[in-house]
Each structure stands twice: as structure tokens, then as C-alpha cells.
């Protein structure tokens, strides 16, 4: 079953820019984008906790510059 939807010009322009080839249908573009939005492998609880800990370290300034990392591993 087909239906008609109304979208604003800026969204239509964005959909046009996401086409893989000039004549790709909007249905195909929207279907491809919507499939990307579904995560088949959600993050585990452990991974989320590690990300949160890393973000906390960043906020607290517990980070190293690339030069510091190179020195620590002996490639600078």
C-alpha cells in the first residue's frame, strides 16, 4: 500500500543528498536510513559503565595529549 506524506523542502533536499544514485526512490532512502537507526547489537551494561567512566575522566581532565601518549609508549 502506498501513501503520500508532506515534508518540508529542507528535508526533501536532505533526502535527495542521501540518494546513492540519482533515481533512487524516497522509499528506498528512508528505508535505508530507518534500518541504520536500529541497533542489532545494543551496548552491554559493562560497556555503558566503561563509557560513563571515560566521560567522567575527560570532564576531570584526566586525559593525555597525543605527544604524551607517544612518549609513554616510546615512539616519540
Percent with pLDDT over 70 in the chain: 100
In the predicted model, is pLDDT for residue 23 greater than 80?
Answer: yes
Say which CATH number the domain at 8 has: 1.10.1220
Where in the sequence is the domain holding 67, given as residue range(s)? 41-76
Arithmetic mean of pLDDT over the chain: 94
Say if residue 5 is in the same domain as residue 17. yes
Percent of the chain's residues with pLDDT above 90: 88
pLDDT digits (tens, 9 = 90+) for 47-74: 999 999 999 999 999 999 999 999 999 9
* pLDDT above 80 for 76: no
According to the model, what pLDDT value does residue 39 have?
87
Specify whether 69 is located in the same domain as 51.
yes
On whether both 31 and 51 belong to a single domain, the answer is no
Task: Determine the Cα–Cα distance for residues 68 and 75; give it in Å rounded to an integer.
Answer: 10
Q: What does the buried/exposed string (b/e) look like for 47-69 if buried means 16 or more CB atoms within 10 Å of the residue's CB?
A: eeeeeeeeeeeeeeeeeeeeeee
Amino acid at each position: 500500500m502506498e501513501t503520500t506524506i508532506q515534508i518540508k523542502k529542507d528535508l526533501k533536499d536532505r533526502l535527495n543528498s542521501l540518494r546513492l544514485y540519482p533515481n533512487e526512490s524516497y522509499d528506498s532512502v528512508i528505508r535505508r536510513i530507518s534500518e541504520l537507526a536500529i541497533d542489532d547489537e545494543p551496548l552491554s551494561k559493562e560497556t555503558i559503565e566503561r563509557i560513563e567512566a571515560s566521560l567522567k575522566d575527560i570532564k576531570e581532565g584526566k586525559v593525555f595529549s597525543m605527544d604524551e601518549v607517544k612518549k609513554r609508549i616510546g615512539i616519540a
